[in-house]
Amino acid sequence: MLTLSLVGMSLASYIHEIKHAKIAVTHRDALIREIHHRIKNNLQGITGLLRQLAESHPDTSDSINYTIGQVQSIAAIHGLQERIPANNVRLHELVGAVATGVGSLWQKAIAVEIPSDWPSYTIDEAEAVPLALVLNELLSNAIKHGVCGEGLQIKIILKHGQQPDSIHLAIHNPSQLPPGFDFERNASTGLQLVQSLMPRAGARLTWHHQDNTVITLLELEPPVITLKPEP
Amino acid sequence: MNTNATAKRAILLVDDDRLVLSTLSRGLTGAGYSLSTAESADDAEAILASGERPDLAILDVNMPGRSGLELAERLRSFDHIPFMLLTAYSDQEIVDKATAMGALGYLVKPVDTPQLLPAIKAALARAEDMQNLRAIGRQLQVALNGEREISIAIGITMMQYRLDRKAAFELLRKTARSQNRKLAELAADVIKASETLNLGA
């Protein structure tokens, strides 16, 4: 009480201030949630308009669907932040949301394999939208160049990397890389976008072949992701 | 779109939002400009330090670390690179600061390539005007310095050869012609020689 009396505050007014601050935080969180909700709804409105356009112009529907996928992946960020505004977006939730969006857009199921004891990695706020777009691009690309058939499916597998706090996000696609494929030198328009959106530090993208499967490996580490202790 | 007119114009685009950076730089490249991009004021300075000299810099005002206004100050003071600013808000205080610093344009986001192109065209034209004015200023200063030296050399010649002004000028002119030199150059030598003589005296 000595400290309180030093600042000229009674216990009653101290408790009142604390309660007031808690209410202000609740209001702020509710407002942020509402803003994310509205942005997400507006983006969904835009994808709805684009979908109408795609349906009325079937000859250009692939290009329009491609843009719908991009807008959807940005909307996914706001959808996740609408639920937990105080926290940054969790990586495994973003992977799930983008995979569901891309899968339903192109009518292809994408399997997401995340270990049951997977810890909560959050994505740096500034990297969330670029990363969502990168994932959207890589998955759309896998669908575009993948081989369809019995038992063939695109898979995303999350694993811990060799370095502490690093993770591997691998997209397994039953396909072949085009001859002479070079991400740095002759990337397609979509992969050029990936190049320009990749985080400058804490992320690496490589391609590998394994048993008639193309593995697109996205390695992430701090500062792009942070291991968040479970509450 | 006339890409020939813009083919050689280089633009440095600085924005911390990679999506904005990526989409705008693609749009401007498609419109025929040569683009360099930077995600921060520090990155932009590294590009400038490597020797690149863009014709125009487009700077986002709100960036983590040093702001676009701080970078603009350096561009204005040290590099003499014209710039325009992009910002999220139409804030009068920032508009006033930007104007005082000599910004050639001020655009409020969201901006898309078709909106940006006329603003860039106008800014590049103003930048060219300013460069021409600076060049004219330098030429005038050289001419003024030359005229001043010729007047002094005429005075020295008048004193040394006890000639009137017109005769002294004619003598200098004839000498310059016979030596196949510019009058201003000869005048500078006359002044120098006179100074040497005076120092020796």
Supply the CATH number for residue A125's domain: 3.30.565.10
Min Cα separation A130/chain B (Å): 7
User: CA nearest B105: which of B11, B7, B30?
Assistant: B11
Distance CA(A168)–CA(A81), nearest Å, equals 23
- Whether the per-residue pLDDT at A8 is higher than 90: the answer is no
For residue A13, CA distances in Å to A3, A5, A16, A20 come to 14, 11, 5, 10
- How deeply is B100 buried, as exposed, middle or buried, from its count of CB atoms within 10 A (0-12, 13-18, 19+)? exposed
Which of A226-230, B68-72, B136-140 is the least confident region? A226-230
- For chain A, what is the domain count? 1
Nearest-by-CA chain B residue for A134: B19
pLDDT computed for residue B90 by the predictor: 76
Nearest-by-CA chain A residue for B39: A200
- Beta carbons of A197 and B39 less than 8 Å apart: no
Torsions phi, psi of A149, nearest 5?
165, 175
Nearest-by-CA chain A residue for B17: A126
* A129 neighbourhood in chain B, CB within 8 Å: 19
pLDDT computed for residue B3 by the predictor: 45
Tokens describing residue B8: 């050689």
| Highest mean pLDDT out of A8-12, B13-17, B129-133, B137-141 | B13-17
Nearest-by-CA chain A residue for B37: A196
pLDDT computed for residue B71 by the predictor: 93
Percent of chain B exceeding pLDDT 70 equals: 95
| Global ipTM | 0.70
- Helix, strand, coil shares, percent, chain B, to 5: 65, 10, 25
pLDDT computed for residue B200 by the predictor: 57
Q: Which of B18, B20, B60, B63 to mutate to test the interface with A (most CBs of A within 10 A)?
A: B18
Mean pLDDT of B146-157: 90
A71 close contact with B: CB closer than 8 A: no
Nearest-by-CA chain B residue for A125: B17
pLDDT computed for residue B9 by the predictor: 93
* A130 neighbourhood in chain B, CB within 8 Å: 18-19
pLDDT computed for residue B146 by the predictor: 82
Q: Which of B16, B18, B37 is closest, CB to CB, to A197?
A: B18
Nearest-by-CA chain B residue for A199: B18
pLDDT computed for residue A10 by the predictor: 81
pLDDT band at B130 (very low <50, low <70, confident <90, very high): confident
A200 close contact with B: CB closer than 8 A: yes
Interface of B with A (CB under 8 A): 16, 18-19, 21-22, 25-26, 37, 39, 64
H/E element holding B59? Answer: strand B56-60
H/E element holding A110? Answer: strand A110-113
* A133 neighbourhood in chain B, CB within 8 Å: 19
Question: A228 vs B121, which has greater pLDDT?
Answer: B121
With tokens 């890409």, the residue in question is: B3
Q: Which of B19, B25, B64 is closest, CB to CB, to A133?
A: B19
Min Cα separation B7/chain A (Å): 21
A132 close contact with B: CB closer than 8 A: no
* A131 neighbourhood in chain B, CB within 8 Å: none
pLDDT computed for residue A183 by the predictor: 79
- Whether the per-residue pLDDT at B152 is higher than 60: the answer is yes
Which domain range does residue A180 map to?
2-227
A130 close contact with B: CB closer than 8 A: yes
- Beta carbons of B22 and A200 less than 8 Å apart: no
* B19 neighbourhood in chain A, CB within 8 Å: 129-130, 133, 197
- Whether the per-residue pLDDT at B50 is higher than 80: the answer is yes
